[in-house]
Amino acid sequence: MAGTPGFLFLSVFLCAVGQVSPYGAHWKPTWPAYRLPVVLPQSTLNLAKPHFGAKAKLEVSSSCGPQCHKGSPLPTYEEAKQYLSYETLYANGSRTETQVGIYVLRSGEGESSGKSRRKRQIYGYDSRFSIFGKDFLLNYPFSTSVKLSTGCTGTLVAEKHVLTAAHCIHDGKTYVKGTQKLRVGFLKPKFKDGGRGANDSSSAVPEKMKFQWIRVKRTHVPKGWIKGNANDIGMDYDYALLELKKPHKRKFMKIGVSPPAKQLPGGRIHFSGYDNDRPGNLVYRFCDVKDETYDLLYQQCDAQPGASGSGVYVRMWKRQQQKWERKIIGIFSGHQWVDMNGSPQDFNVAVRITPLKYAQICYWIKGNYLDCREG
């Protein structure tokens, strides 16, 4: 893992170049192969217990749009290590800060503007679909969407892990009220007559759906969000991982490195969330990506507060296994007013899972970088 930091970090960004199948008569949108960096903990420091005084924000707004972000220099190696360092909050209220190192393995080594505007997140005709019926809600991929007790949405990405937006549990300065007793809600069928329906379907007819809640054991939030305080840099790091106290026993969706927008099937993304204007409903939508930066996807998927934290996914061909596979490539963050040649335009924004973010989130899940070599 030797090498100078400057060369090392340059290599980290160069490794984002994937291998793409050429277009042809039988071309399929294929998951690119990436050479991934390694993000490893270096030291951990105990911190004072937080106050949990922040008010939950169900959306984040920023005035820095695509051109603003594209004009910003990429972080240096030292800055990237700072942004990818992270805080861990435990259920007992204790808190730690972990500093990280970033490495590139050789081949074969290891294995707002101040003006008040009405926030509009519905673009023309409302193209969202409410998902009804247990046959859909309890089946993949909709069953991977869960609700946070702070009001946001999350996505199941492992047996005990949920990916969501950082602002759902931390406002950039301190933790949101209720985070110490954070719970994750799973939609379950609610039966008449108190039956379970195991053998007697006539005595247990599904009437409605209800949430069954599981407590969160610990949370991870990148320091890029905390230090950024939801400003231009902060939105790039608006993601968090929750570890549940027990397995959820559902099929989950793996994370993946976000391909360039032009490589996405139809140039589209998909996500499902618990929008506040449709209480109790899981709402699905898909739309075209309008623009992108290294860290963000700009789109006009219809969404309302409550959908924040939803996993943005696509379905592409997995060459190694010769099958189609959905993967989470981003996290729906919030709303932006963007100055487009002097004319304000609004977008909804998703945080892209870059190679560095993939390496970090995967390590949080697996605890072993050798299990994080394929994005």
Containing H/E element for 84? helix 77-84
Give the active site residue among 61, 143, 258, 308.
Answer: 308
DSSP letters along 302-367, please? ---TT-TTPEEEEEEEETTTTEEEEEEEEEEEEEEEEEETTEEEEEEEEEE--HHHHHHHHHHHHS
- Mention every residue, 6+ apart, whose C-beta is less than 8 A from residue 186: 146, 211, 212, 213, 214, 248, 250
For residue 121, how many other CB atoms are within 10 A of its CB? 19
Give the active site residue among 161, 167, 170, 270.
Answer: 167
- Is 308 annotated in the active site? yes
- Mention every residue, 6+ apart, whose C-beta is less than 8 A from residue 45: 96, 97, 98, 99
The DSSP letter of residue 233 is: T
Distance CA 110, CA 253 (A): 26
Give the active site residue among 126, 193, 200, 232.
Answer: 232
Q: Which class for 193: exposed (0-12), middle (13-18), buried (19 or more C-beta within 10 A)?
A: exposed
- Is 167 annotated in the active site? yes
How distant is the alpha carbon of residue 260 from its chain centre? 17
Looking at the DSSP assignment, which residues form a beta bridge with residue 97? 45, 87
Q: Kindly list the catalytic residues.
A: 167, 232, 308
